[in-house]
C-alpha cells in the first residue's frame, strides 16, 4: 500500500473502529481479564490477521510503516489486543520469509484469514533474552521429529492453534546457535496448555505456559527444511517485532498525553483549569515531545525495514525510546490526574500498568542499548 490516500482511508477506518468498538468495553474487559472473542472476529473481518502477509496468500500486504501506524492507533486505546495479531503475524513472517514454497502455500492463506491463529514461541522458564539457552529439544525419528520441553510467557498460548516453535535439534552444537531450529507446531496430542499466567497489565489477552511431551511433528514442518537455521530465522523477524513494540509504546505515550490533556482542561484548582498552571504545562510539554520523538523514531525504523535494509540499530532505538516514553508519559499522566489517576474509574491507570511490558518484550531495554551501541560502533569505525 504505497498510496497515501489508501493508507489514510485505512487508518481512518481503524480509528473509527477503536472509537466505536473498543473504547466502550476496554475498561470492563481489562479489569475482568476477559478474552474479547467478538473483537477477535472483528479483527478477522478487518484483515488484521493478514496485515503484513503478502496479497499472494490472501493478506493485506501492508508495509511496516502502515502497520506501525495501525498499532499506534489501537494501542492508544487498548494496547493488549494488538498482541493478539502481532504475535500471530510473527508466525506468518517466519513462514513467509524462511519457509519452503509448500509451507507457504499450505499455511499462509489460513493464517492470513485468521482461521489459524497463533504466534511465535521462544521464551522458556530459564531462557528469555538468551535464546541460545533454550532447553526444548526435537529428536529426529524417521519422518517425524519428537519434541519435548516447556515454553513460557507465550502470547495466544491458550486461544491460539499453531505456533512457530524454537527448539534444539542438536544440543551438542558449537556454537550453540547452530543447533537451533524452528518448527510449525499445530495443537494436537502431546501439546498441552499449562497455566494461564497472571500479569500486572496486558490483560484480556492470554499469556500461557506450553508443555510438549513426546509431541510428534512431520519433518515437513521444519521451517525452511534445513536444521540449524532457527536462530537466524528467529532474529530475522525480531526487527519487525521490535518495531511493533515501539509502535505500542507510541500508542501508550500518545494515549496518556491525550487523557492528561483532556483532564487538565476540565479540572480546576485555585479558580482556573490546571493546564494554566506552569507545573502542569511543564509536564505536558515534556509528554508531547516524548510522544512525538517516539513516533518519528518508530516510523524511521519502519521505513528502513520497508526498504529492505538491516535495521537492528533503528529498531532498537525505536523500541528503547518509545517504551521508555510510554512508561514516563503514563506516570506523568497519572500525576496530572492526581488521586483520580489511581482510580480504576479512569483509563490512565491501565496505561500505567500496560507500559512496563513494552520495556521488557522483544528484548529488554538494557539489551537494546547494547545492540544500539555495537551497531553504532560498527557503522562508525576509526578511519
pLDDT tens-digit map of 55-104:
999 999 999 999 999 999 999 999 999 999 999 999 999 999 999 999 99
Cα separation, 205 vs 155, whole angstroms: 7
Of the residues 61, 91, 113, the one at which a domain ends: 113
**DSSP H helical ranges for the chain:** 4-17, 26-32, 37-46, 64-78, 82-98, 101-113, 230-266, 278-306, 312-337, 348-360, 365-379
Q: Can you give the pTM of this predicted structure?
A: 0.95
Strand partners, 149: 212
Residue 246 pLDDT class (50, 70, 90 cuts) = very high
Domain housing 320: 232-379
Domain holding 204: CATH number? 2.40.110.10
Distance CA 73, CA 90 (A): 20
Q: Helix, strand or coil for residue 207?
A: strand
Identify the CATH number of the domain in which residue 325 sits. 1.20.140.10
Q: What pLDDT does 187 receive?
A: 97
Residue 123 sits in the same domain as residue 211: yes
Q: Torsion-angle region of residue 212: left (phi > 0), alpha (psi -120 to 50) or beta?
A: beta
3-state DSSP call for residue 311?
Answer: coil
Same-domain pairing of 94 and 178: no
DSSP annotation string for 42-57: HHHHHTGGGTTS-GGG
Which pLDDT value is given to residue 1? 54
256 and 153 in a single domain? The answer is: no
| Least confident span in 18-27, 174-183, 228-237 | 228-237
- The whole-number average pLDDT for the span 106-118 is 97
Q: pLDDT value at position 129? A: 75
d(CA 333, CA 284): 8
Q: Which residue has the higher pLDDT, 130 or 171?
A: 171
The domain that holds 69 is classified in CATH as 1.10.540.10
Residues 185 and 259 in one domain: no
- Assess contact for 122 and 131: CB atoms under 8 A: yes
Q: What is the pLDDT of residue 127?
A: 78
> In the prediction, which pLDDT does 3 show?
63
The residues annotated as belonging to the active site are 362
User: How far, in Å, CA of 134 to CA of 124, rounded?
Assistant: 6
Give one word for 54, left, alpha or beta, with left for phi > 0 and alpha for psi -120 to 50: beta
Domain shared by 70 and 84, yes or no: yes
Bridge-based pairing state of the strands 118-121 and 162-168: parallel
Residue 236 has what pLDDT? 74
Contact 184, 103 (CB under 8 A): yes
The 10s digit of each residue's pLDDT in 204-242 is 999 999 999 999 999 999 999 999 999 999 987 778 889
Which among 185, 206, 230 is the end of a domain?
230
3-class DSSP assignment, residue 13 = helix
Q: What is the mean pLDDT of the chain?
A: 95
Question: DSSP assignment of 142-193, as one string?
Answer: TTEEEEEEEEEEEETTTT--EEEEEEES-TT-SSGGGGEEEEEEES-TTEEE
Q: What is the pLDDT of residues 273-326, one digit of tens each?
A: 999 999 999 999 999 999 999 999 999 999 999 999 989 999 999 999 999 999
* Residues 206, 285 within the same domain: no
pLDDT bracket for residue 108 (50, 70, 90): very high
Amino acid at each position: 500500500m504505497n498510496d497515501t490516500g489508501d493508507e489514510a482511508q485505512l487508518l481512518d477506518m481503524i480509528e473509527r473502529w477503536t472509537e466505536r468498538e473498543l473504547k466502550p468495553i476496554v475498561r470492563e474487559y481489562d479489569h475482568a481479564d476477559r478474552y474479547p472473542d467478538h473483537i477477535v472476529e472483528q479483527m478477522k473481518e478487518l484483515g488484521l490477521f493478514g496485515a503484513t502477509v503478502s496479497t499472494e496468500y490472501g493478506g493485506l500486504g501492508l508495509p511496516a510503516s502502515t502497520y506501525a501506524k495501525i498499532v499506534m492507533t489501537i494501542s492508544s486505546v487498548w494496547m493488549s489486543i494488538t498482541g493478539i495479531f502481532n504475535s500471530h503475524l510473527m508466525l506468518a513472517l517466519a513462514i513467509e520469509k524462511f519457509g519452503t514454497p509448500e509451507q507457504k502455500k499450505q499455511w499462509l492463506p489460513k493464517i492470513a484469514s485468521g482461521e489459524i491463529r497463533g504466534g511465535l514461541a521462544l521464551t522458556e522458564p530459564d531462557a528469555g533474552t538468551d535464546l541460545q539457552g533454550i532447553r526444548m529439544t526435537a529428536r529426529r525419528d524417521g519422518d517425524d521429529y519428537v519434541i519435548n520441553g516447556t515454553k513460557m510467557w507465550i502470547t495466544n498460548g491458550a486461544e491460539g492453534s499453531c505456533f512457530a516453535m524454537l527448539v534444539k535439534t542438536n544440543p551438542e552444537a558449537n556454537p550453540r546457535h547452530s543447533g537451533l531450529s524452528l518448527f510449525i507446531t499445530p495443537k494436537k496430542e502431546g501439546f498441552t496448555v499449562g497455566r494461564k499466567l497472571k500479569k500486572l497489565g496486558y490483560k484480556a489477552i492470554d499469556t500461557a505456559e506450553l508443555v510438549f511431551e513426546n509431541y510428534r511433528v512431520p519433518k515437513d514442518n521444519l521451517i525452511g527444511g534445513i536444521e540449524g537455521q532457527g536462530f537466524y530465522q528467529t532474529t530475522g523477524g525480531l526487527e519487525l517485532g521490535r518495531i511493533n513494540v515501539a509502535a505500542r509504546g507510541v500508542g501508550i505515550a500518545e494515549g496518556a498525553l491525550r487523557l492528561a490533556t483532556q483532564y487538565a482542561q476540565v479540572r480546576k484548582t485555585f479558580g482556573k483549569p490546571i493546564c494554566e498552571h506552569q507545573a502542569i504545562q511543564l509536564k505536558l510539554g515534556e509528554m508531547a515531545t516524548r510522544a512525538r520523538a517516539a513516533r518519528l523514531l518508530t516510523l524511521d525504523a519502519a521505513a528502513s525495514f520497508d526498504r529492505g535494509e538491516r535495521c537492528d540499530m533503528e529498531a532498537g532505538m525505536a523500541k528503547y525510546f518509545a517504551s521508555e516514553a510510554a512508561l514516563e508519559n503514563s506516570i506523568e499522566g497519572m500525576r496530572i490526574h492526581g488521586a483520580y489517576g489511581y482510580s480504576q474509574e479512569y483509563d490512565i491507570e491501565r496505561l500505567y500498568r500496560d507500559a512496563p511490558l513494552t520495556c521488557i518484550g522483544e528484548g529488554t531495554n538494557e539489551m537494546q542499548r547494547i545492540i544500539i551501541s555495537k551497531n553504532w560502533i560498527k557503522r562508525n569505525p576509526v578511519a
